[in-house]
Amino acid sequence: MSDYPNIFRLRQLFDGPELGDVAAEVENQLSQLQLRDKIQPGQTVAISAGSRGIANIHIIIKAVADHLGSIDARPFIVPAMGSHGGGTAEGQQGIIEGYGITEEFCNCPIKASMETVIVCDAKEGFPVHFDKHAYGADHVIVVGRVKPHTNFSGDIESGLMKMMLIGLGKHAGAKIYHRAIADFSFGQIVRSVAREVLAKCGIVAGLAIVENSYDETARIEAIAPENFEECEKELLLLAKKWMPKLPFDAADILVLDEIGKDISGSGMDTNVVGRKYHDHQAAEGETPRIKNIVVRGLTPATHGNASGIGMAEFCRTRLVQEMDARITRINCITGGHSTGAMVPLDYETDREILDVALVSIGLTEPPDARFLWARNTLDVAEVICSDTYLQEAQQRDDLEVLSEPQPMPFGEDGNLPQIAELE
């Protein structure tokens, strides 16, 4: 087949604030909590650092450590990411160091371990796990991004509450909590466990982060432990409002240059691709509705973890070769989403993939296919679209057409460039 859609570059114009001096805002927020009245000089304070690719996370964590140092506390950092990093202490420390969260930069120790302390039994009858280093500290500050969860819906999804369960519960906690969620519900388990952790694990404060549609820091809010639940509900509404999205509600083919755990817990954000409830189709009333997803590679920061690859219909063979099957399987099984580790049909070149994908979209002729191409599900401010969308794009105030339609830019090897390489 020689016919492919012509494509053009498109910019989305999103609304949403951006913080200027992130470190200063962290200091301002923490100062309002008057932690000096709760933390005595010389006391230890554990700071949670997760595995998501949060904008400015190294600056945020350092600012928390600096504030604690200013009140003569002794901060240290704890990797808080469930089973990520292959479920090893070394792997988890390597992940946060890859984000710039190092002992040298933050001027405080990193204490990584997969060992937990069972602090009690939840009312549902399973043990509540908590990182041993964090449990041994005099106090804990929970740092996390509030955003829509990739699998669960409710008034509380991803954020500080979940960080106390899955992140600080480590691999042992994450396994049992995901099993419990299958029997009860995410909403019930997140509240049940978080309330036990708040009561028994020395949580002194939370620092919630909300990002805008451009993957930039939009809001930082320091929260007293007793206000976690209510504040997180309010921040989740903001996060949903500022959530990045694809420019159109339907597509025949979506190409993603990369997926990874730094992008989303599910590799690609299910809220963006419209597959929050089903791996290979949108649920009733869910958008966008995408027939075929193509994934070309993994982010370096995911360290071979290809969780979520099972949601795609097609992928490059190189991705399969980059994939650490053991790490991916551990993460997907722990999270109760074993199909997320399943490998789609793989091909050596992008041309081979599109030749197959374009004839599996129904009666639409390949040149007329609704085609979208993005770097990843966090970076969708600028995307490549097929000219099928051109007329609509020209009529919308929230979209800016950046180029004239042109042929698909295959190289001699049959592959497309990275989207960032296109002019």
* Model confidence pLDDT, tens digit, residues 223-270: 999 999 999 999 999 999 998 899 999 999 999 999 999 898 899 999
Q: Say if 333 falls within a structural domain.
A: yes
* Average pLDDT value for the chain: 93
Q: Say if 26 falls within a structural domain.
A: no
Q: Could you say which of 181, 210, 242 is where a domain stops? A: 242
246-259 per-position pLDDT tens digit:
999 999 999 999 99
In this structure, which long-range contacts are made by residues 93-97, counting pairs with CB atoms below 8 Å and at least 24 apart in sequence?
A: 94/303, 95/51, 95/301, 95/303, 96/49, 96/51
344-368 per-position pLDDT tens digit:
999 999 999 999 999 999 999 999 9
What's the Cα-to-Cα distance from 45 to each of 5, 224, 253, rounded to whole Å? 56, 15, 48
What confidence score (pLDDT) does residue 81 get? 85
Q: Domain of 398?
A: 7-14+245-421
CB 200 within 8 A of CB 119: yes
CB 4 within 8 A of CB 354: yes
- Say if residue 147 is in the same domain as residue 227: yes
Q: Which tokens hold the place of 59? A: 């600056």
Residue, of 92 and 373, whose pLDDT is higher: 373
- Say if residue 367 is in the same domain as residue 393: yes
In this structure, which long-range contacts are made by residues 154-157, counting pairs with CB atoms below 8 Å and at least 24 apart in sequence?
A: 154/186, 154/187, 155/187, 155/233, 155/236, 156/187, 156/190, 156/191, 156/229, 156/232, 156/233, 156/236, 157/186, 157/236
Domains identified in the chain, total number: 2
Checking if the pLDDT of 423 tops 70, the result is no
What confidence score (pLDDT) does residue 322 get? 95
What confidence score (pLDDT) does residue 365 get? 95
Q: Which residues pair with 316 in a beta bridge?
A: 347
Q: How confident is the model at residue 416 (pLDDT cuts 50, 70, 90)?
A: very high
Q: How confident is the model at residue 64 (pLDDT cuts 50, 70, 90)?
A: very high
Between helices 228-242 and 186-200, what is the axis angle to 10°?
A: 130
- Say if residue 227 is in the same domain as residue 270: no
Checking if the pLDDT of 44 tops 90, the result is yes
What secondary structure does DSSP assign to 196-254, as a single string?
A: HHHHHS-EEEEEEEEE-TTS-EEEEEEE-GGGHHHHHHHHHHHHHHH----SSSEEEEE
Residue, of 224 and 95, whose pLDDT is higher: 224
- Say if residue 224 is in the same domain as residue 288: no
CB 201 within 8 A of CB 187: no
CATH of the domain at 115: 3.40.50.11440
- Say if residue 267 is in the same domain as residue 210: no
CB 51 within 8 A of CB 108: no
Quote the radius of gyration of the chain (alpha carbons, Å).
Answer: 22
Q: Could you say which of 192, 222, 242 is where a domain stops? A: 242
- Please give the average per-residue pLDDT across 207-215, as a whole number: 93
Q: Could you say which of 192, 218, 242 is where a domain stops? A: 242
Q: Say if 21 falls within a structural domain.
A: no
Residue, of 285 and 399, whose pLDDT is higher: 399
Residues 52 and 44: their CA atoms lie apart, in Å, by 25
- Please give the average per-residue pLDDT across 361-387, as a whole number: 96
What confidence score (pLDDT) does residue 85 get? 75
Residues 32 and 29: their CA atoms lie apart, in Å, by 5
Q: Which residues pair with 255 in a beta bridge?
A: 294, 373
Question: CB-based contacts of 79: which residues, under 8 Å, 6+ apart?
Answer: 49, 50, 51, 85, 89, 92, 93, 95, 96, 110, 112
- Say if residue 255 is in the same domain as residue 217: no
Q: Say if 2 falls within a structural domain.
A: no
- Say if residue 231 is in the same domain as residue 269: no
pTM of the model: 0.84
Q: Say if 24 falls within a structural domain.
A: no
Residues 361 and 341: their CA atoms lie apart, in Å, by 24
Q: How confident is the model at residue 281 (pLDDT cuts 50, 70, 90)?
A: very high
Q: Say if 19 falls within a structural domain.
A: no
- Say if residue 302 is in the same domain as residue 208: no
Q: Say if 307 falls within a structural domain.
A: yes
Checking if the pLDDT of 151 tops 60, the result is yes
- Say if residue 149 is in the same domain as residue 270: no
- Say if residue 235 is in the same domain as residue 253: no
Q: How confident is the model at residue 404 (pLDDT cuts 50, 70, 90)?
A: very high
Q: Say if 23 falls within a structural domain.
A: no
What confidence score (pLDDT) does residue 1 get? 43
Q: What are the φ and ψ backbone dihedral angles of 218, each rounded to 5 degrees?
A: -105, -35
Percent of the chain with pLDDT over 90: 81
Residues 48 and 226: their CA atoms lie apart, in Å, by 18
- Say if residue 202 is in the same domain as residue 316: no
Distance, C-alpha 394 to centroid of its chain: 32
What confidence score (pLDDT) does residue 30 get? 98
- Please give the average per-residue pLDDT across 384-408, as a whole number: 96
- Say if residue 275 is in the same domain as residue 417: yes
- Measured from the Cβ of residue 406, the count of other Cβ atoms closer than 10 Å reads 12
The answer to whether the peptide bond before residue 288 is cis (omega within 30 degrees of 0) is yes
Q: Which tokens hold the place of 257? A: 């240059």
Smallest CA-to-CA distance from 278 within 261, 265, 291 is with: 291
